[in-house]
Amino acid sequence: MFTGIVEEIGHIVAFDAGRLTVESPVVLTDAELGASIAVNGCCLTVIEFDDRRWSADLSDETIARTSFASTRTGDAVNLERAVQASQRLGGHLVQGHVDGVGEIVAAVPDLRVRVPDRLLPYLVEKGSVTVDGVSLTVVDVTDGTFSVAVIPHTAEVTTLGGRVPGDPVNIEVDVMAKYVEQMLQPHIDDLRRGNE
């Protein structure tokens, strides 16, 4: 579990045959094999590390469902270690399970992102969303896109400040919205059948 509060910007030093290696000394301060680190909002498992770099294996499924399909050596990435029970929850509950890949339409400070239609029902004004692992609050949802206001501090300490129109970004919608939908779906189906 994560909070969407980025701890460090790391850099991809290698990405070959599904093995990703990241240079990032801050998130390694208490690293251990098997630890979870979110990379641009995608939860990955540390399989090896030293004092400056760590590696994770990505499945074909992970690559297909995230922006890792377009990741290159040298790319900057947002990093966050898994939350500890004793920490403050500064963002919102983030699983690190990417729901889809969006596309930047307008850059910060008024960041606008186009998302797959299947994610639109989970985006609501003042609701939570994660963009490349950054916890943000939705300003509005229109025409297949949503916007968020990115403050200067967030633009500076995450990769969002460098994103330009056309860039792919990982999107994770609020898990609570997905659970509510699942719990209500049988009742919605009953109502629809009653109106036919």
Instruction: Please name each of the domains of the chain with its CATH number.
Output: 8-81 (2.40.30.20), 100-182 (2.40.30.20)
CA–CA gap between residue 194 and residue 196 (Å, rounded): 6
Q: pLDDT tens for residues 130-184?
A: 999 999 999 999 999 999 999 999 999 999 999 999 999 999 999 988 888 889 9
pLDDT digits (tens, 9 = 90+) for 47-91: 999 999 999 999 999 999 999 999 999 999 999 999 988 877 788
> Can you give the pLDDT at residue 196?
66
Please say whether the dihedral angle defined by the alpha carbons of residues 23, 26, 27 and 29, taken in this order, is positive or negative.
Answer: positive
Cite the DSSP H helix spans in the chain.
Answer: 60-65, 152-157, 175-194
Q: Is the dihedral angle over the CA atoms 51, 61, 95, 141 positive or is it negative?
A: positive
Regarding pTM above 0.75, the answer is yes
Cα gap 56→36, rounded to integer Å? 10
